[in-house]
Amino acid sequence: MAKVNASTNQTLVNVAQVASWIYSDGRSAIQPDGNSGLYFPRGSLLSTAIFQDGLVWGGRVNDGGDPVIRVGGQTFSVGTVPGAILSKGVPEDLNDRQNVDRVWRVRRDYLTADLRQDAAELNLISAGNVTQAQMDEVRQQYADDWRDWPAHKGAPFYDANNDGVYTPAYKDDGSPKLFPEADEPGLAGADQVVWIVTNDLQQSAVQSMYGSPSIGLEMQLTMWAYRRSDPLGNIIFKQYRLIYKGTSATPASAVVDSMYLCAWADPDLGAAGDDFVGSDTSLSLGYVYNSVSQDGNYTQLNLPPPASGYDFFAGPLVADPAGEAIFGLKKRAGFRNLPMTTFAFFAAGQEDSDPTRGGDYNGTLQWWNLLRGYRPRPENPPEPWTDPTTNQITKFRVPGDPVKGTGWIDANPGDRRLLMVSGPFTMALGDTQEVVVAALAALGSDRLSSISVLKFTDRFAQEAFDNLFDLPKPPQSPFLTATELDGQIVLNWGENEAEVNKTELVPNKGYNFQGYNVYQLPTAGAAISQGLKLGTFDLVDEVTTISQETFDEASGSVLPLPVQLGKNTGVTRSLLLDRDRFREKPLINGQTYHFAVTAYNYNGTEGLTIKTLESSPTVVTVVPQTVKPGERLRTVFDDTLSANHAEGLSNGLLYPIIVDPTKITGDEYKVVFQGAPGPTQVWHLINTTKGDTVLKNQLNQSGDGRYINVDGLLVKVLGAPIEFAGGGRGIVEVANPAGDPCGSGAGSTGGCSTFGGNTVWHSSNSTGDYYVSGGGGGAGLDRIQRYIGNAVPRDFELRFTERGGWGVFAFTDDKIARVPFEIWDIGIATPNDPSDDKRMIPFLNENVATSAAWGYATGTDPYGGVPNSDWIYWMDPEDGAAGSGSYDQFAAICENLGAGATYPSASDGSRDGYFANFYGGFVYPIGRVTICDLAGDGTPPPAGTTIRFITSKPNQPSDVFTFSTANLSKTLSLETARQDVLAAVNVFPNPYLGFNRAEADRFNRYVTFNHLPNKATIRIFTLAGVLVRTISKDSETQFAQWDLQNERGLPAASGIYIAHIDFPDLNEVKVLKLAVVREDQFLRNF
């Protein structure tokens, strides 16, 4: 990865639904261009909820200096500068951009995350205009900040070896190792963390605020956020840590008493000038909401006004022998956290306005009043606030309930400032104090329900904070890619196996992966609640609809509501989209759309409040389009290719399915297997053309949708289940002396066409005399295939013969018995080849007292209620060889001793007794088989009857499947490209009549040229031949935009224009005419 930037002194916290700017000097929530800089919901420069915020401190500073009352921090003027305090009065060099004048920002998924929206917000442009270079720069900055994380200055990190030193480590692919494998920057399990350190030692900076001198405070700020779809995703946490290190003149005895900390904000909620504020003392919450039902900014986004605010999650620490506080995200006994002790607001141009700035010390005194709960003016003596509804003095303005319309609520809307104060406390030189503040926002169905949602969000977050963020997490967000096709989009979240496994296979505190949701969103930064759910793809199990306690906007109450609507559709990891669900029209080439995929989990433990958590969405911004000039695709999504079972005898199947026509290689492939059939058997997909194993150690042979896709293919490998074929339908009568079991005279012919015999498992034989069942229990298939893994893939026969054979009641008293049958292993799918047949040893289990013969009609079949036989167990011969060698040795002893005698298993000369193979235990291929007397005549099947037990044929290491993608990869022709650009290159909309419906807002006007090759130069002229604009394109996209401005950035006039388009790689030129009619301009604010 190219190194593009050593450091930066401004960035965004923007991993969740709230995004906010932060600077190395402590300024925050203001854009670099001076506009509002906290956004909710993310995705548009119009969705601004805060203009600027900061931390203000003030107190009586007893250090021998004058004046004693001092304030500092960050408001419209900033009294802090970058850097730590090295010793009393000695700051770091703020000119050091690499180590001091810098903001550090990390997220653990920076190498794989889609950073398009991140890059758009950092560059103040739309997501559609982001270049790969801009995304690479953002990714590189994350990598630099991870490497350079300033733990030695106080930045938090997870210390894997507890040595107190931050030492990052990396994998072979360059990705960082994570805790506990290695040290990791961050805290509280956050998905994004930002850290800065500032100080107030620069006198000019402090005094320019409100005329106070420096105190000697170092401020460390840690900001963090969670990429979640629950209320935690609507919050940015801010941990301010103040260390009193002193100025060069500060004596060792210095102390700041009656000190206060204040979260200050200028909350312009959308359009400024129509805001109200409120407070909730029970939550330590101060907030802003709209005074009217619509907001000028949010209306343009088709959204009601949200609410936003700030909460003191942990106020300053004060001693309390009986208390318990949170400090450094740890519980601390003997202390307590102060709550919000004052809430106030003032308004620009109204009676109580901003404290005087510009170095005027009166501003300090006005702030001193505000911090203690008084009006800013008069400075002395201070005047308290009075609640107009009670005429009582109060330190909390507007604590009423705007939703219910009760108590003191705001009136006379305007441009507000709000401040939330906590104090007083005392700081001696060397002391450290800390507060945790959160900026939060919420969106309801209207301006007032947004307040209710905000308070619900606040309570949810407070519980998380009080539990030190030791919370279950949603699954990792899916790794999502998209392919843009002609009027179609393919979403693919199944081609990165490592990321799929992180999403689906990592449990968290009893929560396990349950399914995926797919959404269409109105903007790239929209919440999933603003989108339309296109589908849910969940596990096929007992879990479908999941309900849990959720805030109901309609009632304003917390109710048990459905939050996930699974339908047992089965998990899939790719999806073709061809319809715009917002407009209910087909997707249009050249238009921008936003789609997202989330994952959700489930914990069914009784009594849990939270049963499911949904990940934050992985969003892709896409533009449907035809293929690039000169290209042609030769497959379509969901095509299934033919496959060949090149080697082996399994019943397995292979289905290569197209999931991305643009990635088909044209190569040859094969699938091979490793290991015995069963849950640990794996298969590999090999590109035989290149000699590469493209998928390794795959376990799935179920035929569902949970396969990893590669090279544009979803290769479904299906293995036969390990059982008797057809779930028992492969237990068939293949011979009967009365005639062909499948002939015209047969009473039934089930199984004949599939298995070559008449099914007798729980089904009448061809003459209606008997059927086969399982002994005991429910007589199901499980009774006879207890050790089916020892049977598969062999087939077996039970042959009733004139001579019969010998068996033994080995489970009871070892009595030798005559049996009218022989049991054989007839090999693997070779019924007509006797050369591999092995005669087996019959073990018997009686229904009644042991006799000298196998008993027929001695018990009752639990399945059919008819008489059944003694049970038959099929024991493999000790020698394992074809023929009857081991059986003959067993039979000779039986013949010698006679029926009814006791078999001498301990002294018969065999290894384990009976000349049988017990596989180191007491294991057999088939057991507990009974023949049921359906005719009720007490007569077993006659000699000449043969029952075949056909097992399934799972894939074996001897099986090989092959398929080819030859002549299926996309083609590229230079001559075709020339024809394409001359025929297809165009510009839209044309004419441009005041607006383009794809424009996100009125500030970004444009037309789009399409079907362009990688390189093109567009020169736009007036009809008089005057060059208006030159646009140079050198990128993979087939689109280029003209922003309807000339080379000087001024709007182009209405009129007819000529677009001269040069294609240097194709030696072609095309000329287009374009009509532009500009909209009338109206001032929205004046």
Domain positions in the chain: 10-108+191-467, 481-626, 632-720+958-964, 731-949, 973-1081
| Residue at token pair 């309900």 | 547
Note the pLDDT of residue 525: 80
Note the pLDDT of residue 1080: 67
Residue 4 has pLDDT above 70, yes or no: no
Name the CATH superfamily for 973-1081: Macroglobulin (MG2) domain (2.60.40.1930)
In whole angstroms, give the CA distance from residue 208 to residue 222.
26
Residue 5 has pLDDT above 80, yes or no: no
Tokens of 137: 């720069």
Q: How many CA atoms lie within 13 A of 840 on its CB side?
A: 29
- Which residues, including other chains, have CB under 8 Å from residue 597's CB and lie 6 or more apart? 478, 480, 491, 493, 516, 517, 518, 519, 617, 618
Please indicate whether the domains covering 481-626 and 973-1081 agree at the CATH topology level: yes
Mean pLDDT across 385-410: 97
Residue 3 has pLDDT above 60, yes or no: no
Phi, psi of 109 (to 5 degrees): -105, 25
| Whether domain 481-626 has CATH 2.60.40.10 | yes
Q: Is 936 exposed, middle or buried (0-12, 13-18, 19+ CB in 10 A)?
A: exposed
Residue 348 has pLDDT above 80, yes or no: no
Note the pLDDT of residue 265: 98
Mean pLDDT across 516-540: 93
Mean pLDDT across 73-100: 97
In whole angstroms, give the CA distance from residue 795 to residue 887.
18
Nearest of 1029, 1075, 1071, 1008 to residue 129 by alpha carbon: 1008
In three-state secondary structure terms, 114 is coil
* Tens digits of residue pLDDT in 115-124: 999 999 999 9
* Tens digits of residue pLDDT in 420-458: 999 999 999 999 999 999 999 999 989 999 999 999 999
| Residue at token pair 């569902």 | 704
Note the pLDDT of residue 2: 33
- Bond preceding residue 67 cis, omega within 30 of 0: yes
Residue 135 has pLDDT above 90, yes or no: yes
Is residue 1083 very low, low, confident or very high in pLDDT (cuts 50, 70, 90)? very low
Higher pLDDT, 1082 or 732: 732
Report the mean per-residue pLDDT for the chain: 94
Mean pLDDT across 914-918: 97
**Run of H or E including 599:** strand 593-602
Q: Is 715 exposed, middle or buried (0-12, 13-18, 19+ CB in 10 A)?
A: buried
Note the pLDDT of residue 795: 98
Taking CA 328 as the corner, what is the angle to CA 322 and CA 334, rounded to the nearest 5 degrees?
Answer: 15
Residue 810 has pLDDT above 70, yes or no: yes
* Tens digits of residue pLDDT in 849-906: 778 999 998 999 999 999 999 999 999 999 999 999 999 999 999 999 999 999 999 9
Proportion of the chain above pLDDT 90, given as a percent: 88
Nearest of 1084, 1058, 1085 to residue 1071 by alpha carbon: 1058
Q: How many CA atoms lie within 13 A of 740 on its CB side?
A: 7
Residue 662 has pLDDT above 60, yes or no: yes
* Tens digits of residue pLDDT in 15-64: 999 999 999 999 999 999 999 999 999 988 899 999 999 999 999 999 99
Q: Are strands 992-993 and 1068-1077 parallel, antiparallel or unpaired?
A: parallel
Q: How many CA atoms lie within 13 A of 731 on its CB side?
A: 23
Note the pLDDT of residue 349: 74
Amino acid at 953: K
Note the pLDDT of residue 1081: 56
